[in-house]
Amino acid sequence: MQIEQNSVVVLDYTLHEGSADGQLVESTVGKDPLGFIFGLGMMLPAFEANLEGKQAGDSTDFLLTAENAYGKRNEEAIVGLPMSTFESEGQSAKDFLKEGMVIPMRNQEGHTLQGTVMSFDDEIVKMDFNHPMADKDLHFSVTIKTVREATKEELDHGHVHGEGGVHH
């Protein structure tokens, strides 16, 4: 079966920054594979475009430019938030905040965003809400392990069950 809309894809990948010889970011090889339902928006569109039509046993290498991956850094995504935003149950935020710390937060629409602490003082915490891979070209080496039709239950739940997915 070829990879197409609503097919379950289970694959191994290795991700390098910039090129095949760039810094290793992560790899599933020898670990749990990645499983997703193709075409549901779970993966970057350019990632899926490079897999469409492939089948189990196929291997491919491709580069996603920053524009086709997580985009360019946006300086407007760097904001200063009041220190009081981070205090809880009487504990001072300065007791646990550290530069480089990633903190899940919610915006006004209720969406979860991952923010990285850039710096802080007594009043303001400077946070960067850009994706950590923004401004980076991503080189993927992929081996397709299995391709199959998604079950009705998987489509209803919006995720893969079994290998490469959720076990419940």
The answer for residues whose C-beta is within 8 angstroms of residue 30's C-beta and 6 or more apart is: none
Q: Where are the alpha helices (DSSP H) in the chain?
A: 45-49, 152-157
Q: Name the more confident of 110 and 130.
A: 130
Q: How does residue 9 score in pLDDT terms, banded at 50, 70 and 90?
A: very high
3-state secondary structure of 33: coil
Q: How does residue 167 score in pLDDT terms, banded at 50, 70 and 90?
A: low
**What's residue 94's pLDDT?**
83
Q: Which two tokens stand for residue 12?
A: 């191994």
Go through the domains of the chain in sequence order and give each one's CATH number. 7-70+133-157 (3.10.50.40), 75-128 (2.40.10.330)
How far is CA 12 from each of CA 57, 92, 134, 140, 145, rounded to the nearest angstrom?
A: 11, 43, 23, 10, 7
**What's residue 107's pLDDT?**
85
CA dihedral 63, 101, 32, 68 (to 10 degrees): -20
Q: Which tens digit of pLDDT belongs to each residue from 34-60?
A: 999 999 999 999 999 999 999 999 999
Q: Which two tokens stand for residue 90?
A: 């009487």
**What's residue 60's pLDDT?**
98
Q: What's the CA gap between 128 and 135, in Å, rounded?
A: 14
Q: Which tens digit of pLDDT belongs to each residue from 53-69?
A: 999 999 999 999 999 99
Which element (helix H / strand E) includes 147?
Answer: strand 138-149
Q: Is the pTM of this model over 0.85?
A: no
Q: Which two tokens stand for residue 133?
A: 């891979």
Whether residue 95 is predicted with pLDDT greater than 90 in this model: the reply is no
Q: Average per-residue pLDDT in the chain?
A: 93
Give the 3-state DSSP-derived string for 57-90, with helices as H, strands as E and coil as C. CCEEEEEECHHHCCCCCCHHHEEEEEHHHHCECC
Q: How does residue 87 score in pLDDT terms, banded at 50, 70 and 90?
A: confident
